[in-house]
Structure 1
Amino acid sequence: MMRPRSAFARAVVATAILFLATTGRAAAWEGLAPYAEESDVLSTSPSTDDGAIGAMFNPAQWGVLEKPELSFFWSDENVRPNHMDQWGVTAGAGLGFTLRRHDRQFPGGARNVTDYQIGFGSGSGRHFEGMALGFSGPGKGAFARQNYFAAGDIARPTRWLSFGTTGRIALQGGDHDAGVDVGIRPLSDARITIFGDYSLSRGERWDDGPLAGGIEVRPIPGLQAAIRYGDQDRFQVTVGVVLDRAGFRATPHFDKDANLGATRYAIRLNPPIKGFDLDGKRNSKRRFVEIDLKGRVAYQAYRYWDPGTISLRGLTERIEFAIDDPTVGGVVLNLSGLEANPAMLWEIREKLLALKQRGKKVIVYADNLNLGKLYLASVADRLVMDPRGSLLMPGIQISRTYMKGLLAKLGVGFDEWRFYKYKSALEAFSRDNMSAADREQLQAVADDAYAELANGVAQSGRATREDFDRVVNEEPFLYASRLLELKWVDALGRADSVKAVVKMVGGRRARLASYPTLLERRWRPDEEWGPKPTLALVYAIGECAMDDGIKARASSKAIRQLRENRDVKAVVMRADSPGGDPLASDLVAGEIRALKAARKPVFVSQGRVAGSGGYWISMDADTITTTPFTVTGSIGVIGGWAWNEGFGEKTGFSSDRVQVGKSADLLGGIRLPILGATLPERNLDAAERKQIERSFAELYDDFTQKVASARRLDVARVRELGEGRIYLGRPAVENRLVDRVATLDETIEAAKRAAGIPEKRNVQVVEYPKAPLFRLPMFLRGVLGPAARANAAAGTLPLSAPGLSYEARVLQAILDQPGRPLLLIPGSVLPSELEAVP
């Protein structure tokens, strides 16, 4: 099926061809102002003279404009002495308006007419289209003006080619004309543009249509020069200058003997041409960007009405802007109310360190700190703390709640199918304390996380490692005044005191600036033609499930479409998953393998958790990056069986059945209300359990062999690293389970390089899934959420049902899918639970 945009473009081109093919005997310009006479305000051609002036001749230019432009143009060729007779105004973006005044000497005196045009344009990168309605005011009869409809199209398939078509038709009388033009940039940028245009009006033959062409150069930002040759050997020269976001250009016209005729002038506000950055020179490093971190840092925020969520990439983009912009001397962060897991804190901290490496400053205000926030704040050049603030950091602990006794009291039996030493995800149901293997791996995780945090603070110069350890063990709670004595903070003050700190750090003329205001003020037009290379960022977040969590069914389809889309040059997947269903995991992993086979670069950036099924979806990437706080590995399989061991007697429930098949009774039992799960009546017998063990061994063999193949390791080595053991990021790098420690932004840059995209080339990062529009009220989420209808039909809640703990959701998964192996990590290391106390 033809897409609407494509259909529109083809219709415009077909109309233009029809116009060009038409010949008649009417006056060549009667009813429509002739293009050759009107286009003398252009410096190049309609599809290459980007902006509101070009939109007068090709309304698709309204779609090219990123920001609204206002231009005023006039001529020194006047009919009446000391009067400005030939002038016009054009303004807009997307939707545009043009007014143009003409004066002409007629027998009996001078007359004038004002022509108007209302236009609309849209498009993106590769293709733009537009339409306009033109009409004239009083006096149009003397100028033989007719109201008309215009349509235009601009195609930019590459960085070096622009092709435009446009056509007009009078609404009465049948007059029409059309034009085509082309622009070529031999250097693939705006420094040199070679252009040409051709138009034909009703009544003209093919060889009657005027031709024009020339060359434009923009040797440096802010300077523009062009020469345009027209019919009858006439030519015009344009010289223009753009300072910040205001421009001026002059276009003198010459005849074939080089005699000067009229000169056209234009003043432009917000022209789509990069200007001399006077603001950057005048305000070098004088602005400090305010960044308020009140809220929860997440991968995506709702697009509307979600003030309590901060998107990770949105935040790092703000810091990146501060790094690149010459007027920014630093950033001011307010940590009050910040919620973020350690992996995200590390990503933010790394971005701030990159800013400092560019010679810029970081100022931080904090009220209450814990170990994680101190780790982030320690990067500051100047750390200001509220006088009533405090720091609580008794260290790190990882604890688990065990439910063996609870299940026994409820009359629920539980058999943990644990065939691999460290695969401890279900021991919370079968034990009343921590197993030796789980204690070993969790202690290693706690030690590694503590060392990363402590070393980060020590490397900032705010404390030695010895002092840090002493405070943790001897002074775990400190008020701001004590922190000032220790020189862990630089000053005490309220949030508004940072204004004085900014001037102290940045100089007398330094000042605070909000990011949205500064972003608007520092906007620079994109002069590049054609679609930008696209990188896809796929979020695989939550449990590995078919229609919830990572949504493997939809995600695998989306990844397949990205593989088939030639515009997508590389794929980055952010994996933040504790695992789950092996089928869901392998469905996504299979598409990652297909990307590799298609030689399209695919990178995985691991988030806070990428273990078990989360590691399965990671392992096949060309490159796996991780963070120092990522919990990964957990190569193993786990499962369990819950059954009625007195539950019916204690609660009054009972069940009965008929069956065909020796083990069919395992699928029946007491149907639990609310949860919608079934509690089987018995445990597996020895033969049935042997079959389970055999299926687990089969899946584990497949898992380890896939890891060995993907990571180029011996299977024996993978089995040694496996057994369900979890690792933090740096040990995972040492053991070659992942490639390196890197942020999500660094991973995207690496994927860009792998795709062969030049470092300075801008790219478009497309996220999947798209950020949702708005957050549903809590009481509606279970009713109107995406998986609600399917779960309601099955009589169950989704695995990620709000209000249920991780262990409760795991138990429900076991009841919902009895006998099936799971790829899960222990709930004790999920993001909300591995935090600095409290």
Structure 2
Amino acid sequence: MRTLWRAIAGFFKWTWRLLNFVREFILNLFLVVLILICIGVYVQFSRPATPEQSPKGALIVDLSGTVVDKPSVSNKLSKLGRQLLGTNSNRLKENSLFDVVDAIRQAKGDANITGMVLDLRDFAGADQPSLQYMGKALREFRDSGKQIYATGDSYSQAQYYLASFANKIYLSPQGTVDIHGFATNGLYYKSLLDNLKVSSHVFRVGTYKSAVEPFLRDDMSPAAREADSRWMGELWQNYLNTLAANRQITPDQVFPGAQGLLDALQKTGGDTAEYAKNARLVDELASRSAVDQQLTKVFGWDKEAKDFNGTSIYDYQVKDQQSADGNIAVIMANGAIMDGDETAGTVGGASPNTLTGSIGIFGVINTVENSLGAIGVHTDGVSTSPLADVATTKALPPEVQQMMQLSIENGYKNFLNLVAQARNKTPEQIDQIAQGHVWTGSDAKANGLVDALGDFDDAVAKAAELAKLKQPQLNWYQDDPGMLDMLFSQMDVSIRAALPDVLKVWLPAPVMDTMAAMRDQPGLFDNLNDPQNRYAICLTCGQVK
């Protein structure tokens, strides 16, 4: 018996020693990595700022991940993180829209840059206004006389939007140009709530405020369908018109409709690449090696890199546009506006492809008294007034329901008054274009919600005009993330990238969508601090896919 206890004790003793060794090893490893990172940061920032000559050749716009107005990690730190930590999660990376545009515009006048190559295989996308702004910069580059070449195994809709600005588009013989249209999809769970005997108390103002419909219906209402079809149709037509103009074909040639596409594919025997070539969506079908050979003839051969002469947009040295003496302030606002200090993802600008409006207000309270009653659980007690007797386990008192509706109507009235005052209109005029309506930028201008259509450049020009500035200089007011922000952001991206695909498959779509939404506005629900619980949040933005 004593021998058995010795064996058991010995096992636990060596197990404990092993755990201690693993713990100390991991901590020491983390410390060594941290020291190396700190040394790398010190070397990077202490290196004298000497002007670097860009190698002659192409600017390779090999965008990876998404393009946003304000990345969670600055491009400089992100680049350093890739150099020090390394990651294969390119499609999870965020790029600054303004950094991308600045690089393209600088390359336009750079004598060392003789052309551009759009390598968009890892580009995950951007919203419509951002794509339009990048397209404007590409058009300026092309109009300067420098050639743009786009290459890809296949093109998504966002990738092809940028590729359409190229002088020549290459496509793999086994590739496809995936132009299929825009769509929004949402879950409706009234029947689920009914089956679970959950009581949903919905309070709203606005005929077109469709955010509460999942609690009330099992499908989209005719009013919401009509409203969404209108603004989505305008965005889709803007998309087609841009591509058609770039490729000098008609919008119907860009996308002939589902049946037209099917008929054309039947003629090519299902060959999507041949269809793209016949429809003039691309100029040449060629493998990667064949494209590289042609680009080598254009840009020359780099013996060291064993590739055609070119510089990645991530390695291209862009002159710092930041100036403490700037006379126009640029303030980045993203997310919901909260009281107190700004946090990442909390706190967007007028383009024909933006979504404006959605002026409406709603509230939802779910109670589960019937659900609990179905399994024999009941709630009872005493209260000094019906207003104190509010709980998710009890039916909502009628007085509370009436007060909620009054609060919703008052919030809507205040909203109308604020917008009417700012836009020099009457509340009645605003009410006619409110009711939860979502408008595109073009419609918003026609309805007087915005003054003019334009992009960031137009806003800067207008600010300079109003301030009577002859030489406008921008001063960007934004906090640069620190070293720890970069470290943990890179670790988070790497971990999510390493998540096994089999696990992602098992996660239901609503869970993945919710994770994506929470990632887009991190910490949002931790910072909701309005005393009356009223918030201005766009629930439509980012749904188009």
Match of 2:261 in 1: 475
- How much does 1:451 deviate? 0.4
- Greater C-alpha Rg: 1
Post-superposition CA distance 1:612-637 (Å, at most 9, x none) = xxxxxxxxxxxxx4233322201121
Match of 1:636 in 2: 360
Match of 1:225 in 2: none
Work out which of the residue numbers 699, 703, 716 in structure 1 matches 2:415: 703
The question of whether the paired residues in 2 share the 8 Å contact of 1:539 and 1:768 is answered with no
Match of 1:382 in 2: 168
- How much does 1:364 deviate? 1.2
1:415 and 2:127 matched = no
Q: Bigger CA drift: 496-505 or 318-327?
A: 496-505
- What is the alpha-carbon distance in structure 2 between the residues aligned to residue 769 and residue 658 of structure 1? 54
Match of 2:370 in 1: 646
Match of 1:671 in 2: none
- What is the alpha-carbon distance in structure 1 between the residues aligned to residue 224 and residue 465 of structure 2? 40
- What is the alpha-carbon distance in structure 1 between the residues aligned to residue 252 and residue 147 of structure 2? 27
Cα 1:296/1:435, change in 2 over 3 Å: same
1:834 and 2:544 matched = yes
Work out which of the residue numbers 336, 341, 351 in structure 1 matches 2:126: 341
TM-score calculated relative to the size of structure 1: 0.48
Work out which of the residue numbers 340, 344, 348 in structure 2 matches 1:553: 340
- What is the alpha-carbon distance in structure 2 between the residues aligned to residue 389 and residue 410 of structure 1? 47
Q: Secondary structure at the match of 1:433?
A: coil
1:317 and 2:115 matched = no
Q: Which amino acid aligns with 2:118?
A: L
- How much does 1:453 deviate? 1.0
- What is the alpha-carbon distance in structure 2 between the residues aligned to residue 420 and residue 301 of structure 1? 34
- What is the correspondence of 1:710-789 to structure 2 with a 5 Å cutoff? 710-759=422-471, 762-768=473-479, 770=481, 772-776=485-489, 777-778=491-492
- What is the correspondence of 1:361-510 to structure 2 with a 5 Å cutoff? 361-475=147-261, 479-495=272-288, 497-502=290-295
- How much does 1:720 deviate? 1.0
- What is the alpha-carbon distance in structure 2 between the residues aligned to residue 518 and residue 662 of structure 1? 66
Q: Secondary structure at the match of 1:406?
A: helix
Q: Which amino acid aligns with 1:492?
A: L
1:662 and 2:375 matched = no
The question of whether the paired residues in 2 share the 8 Å contact of 1:639 and 1:820 is answered with no
Cα 1:316/1:731, change in 2 over 3 Å: same
- What is the alpha-carbon distance in structure 1 between the residues aligned to residue 381 and residue 470 of structure 2? 68
- What is the alpha-carbon distance in structure 1 between the residues aligned to residue 424 and residue 187 of structure 2? 38
- What is the alpha-carbon distance in structure 2 between the residues aligned to residue 455 and residue 471 of structure 1? 15
Identity of aligned residues (%): 22
- What is the alpha-carbon distance in structure 2 between the residues aligned to residue 517 and residue 629 of structure 1? 31
- How much does 1:683 deviate? 2.7
Q: Secondary structure at the match of 2:139?
A: helix
Q: Secondary structure at the match of 2:486?
A: coil
- What is the alpha-carbon distance in structure 2 between the residues aligned to residue 531 and residue 495 of structure 1? 45
The question of whether the paired residues in 2 share the 8 Å contact of 1:395 and 1:472 is answered with no
- How much does 1:427 deviate? 0.9
Q: Secondary structure at the match of 2:252?
A: helix
Q: Which amino acid aligns with 1:538?
A: I
The question of whether the paired residues in 2 share the 8 Å contact of 1:421 and 1:437 is answered with yes
The question of whether the paired residues in 2 share the 8 Å contact of 1:413 and 1:644 is answered with yes
- How much does 1:753 deviate? 4.9
Q: Which amino acid aligns with 2:334?
A: I
Cα 1:737/1:705, change in 2 over 3 Å: same
- What is the alpha-carbon distance in structure 2 between the residues aligned to residue 680 and residue 822 of structure 1? 26
- What is the alpha-carbon distance in structure 2 between the residues aligned to residue 490 and residue 95 of structure 1? 45
* Higher RCO structure, 1 or 2 (CA under 8 Å, sep 6+): 2
- How much does 1:411 deviate? 2.0
Cα 1:692/1:462, change in 2 over 3 Å: same
Work out which of the residue numbers 65, 87, 92 in structure 2 matches 1:295: 65
- What is the alpha-carbon distance in structure 2 between the residues aligned to residue 689 and residue 780 of structure 1? 47
- How much does 1:432 deviate? 1.1
- How much does 1:497 deviate? 4.4
TM-score calculated relative to the size of structure 2: 0.71
Q: Bigger CA drift: 339-348 or 631-640?
A: 339-348
Match of 2:19 in 1: none
- How much does 1:694 deviate? 2.4
Post-superposition CA distance 1:681-730 (Å, at most 9, x none) = 11341x43333332222222211121122122333221111111001122
The question of whether the paired residues in 2 share the 8 Å contact of 1:536 and 1:768 is answered with no
Cα 1:431/1:346, change in 2 over 3 Å: same
Q: Which amino acid aligns with 1:449?
A: L
Higher strand share: 1
Q: Which amino acid aligns with 1:395?
A: G
- How much does 1:316 deviate? 1.6
Cα 1:94/1:646, change in 2 over 3 Å: closer
Post-superposition CA distance 1:359-387 (Å, at most 9, x none) = 33222112222333322221111111122
Work out which of the residue numbers 358, 374, 387 in structure 1 matches 2:144: 358
- What is the alpha-carbon distance in structure 2 between the residues aligned to residue 650 and residue 805 of structure 1? 33
- What is the correspondence of 1:516-665 to structure 2 with a 5 Å cutoff? 518-519=316-317, 531-533=324-326, 535-542=328-335, 544=336, 546=338, 552-555=339-342, 606=348, 625-650=349-374, 655-665=379-389
The question of whether the paired residues in 2 share the 8 Å contact of 1:534 and 1:763 is answered with yes
- How much does 1:414 deviate? 0.8
- How much does 1:331 deviate? 1.8
- How much does 1:545 deviate? 6.0
Cα 1:376/1:473, change in 2 over 3 Å: farther
Q: Which amino acid aligns with 1:774?
A: L
Q: Bigger CA drift: 371-380 or 398-407?
A: 371-380
Post-superposition CA distance 1:313-339 (Å, at most 9, x none) = 222221122123233233211110211
Q: Secondary structure at the match of 2:155?
A: strand
Q: Secondary structure at the match of 1:368?
A: coil
Q: Which amino acid aligns with 1:636?
A: G
- What is the alpha-carbon distance in structure 2 between the residues aligned to residue 271 and residue 816 of structure 1? 48
The question of whether the paired residues in 1 share the 8 Å contact of 2:330 and 2:475 is answered with no
The question of whether the paired residues in 2 share the 8 Å contact of 1:412 and 1:646 is answered with yes
Cα 1:531/1:637, change in 2 over 3 Å: closer
Cα 1:504/1:460, change in 2 over 3 Å: farther
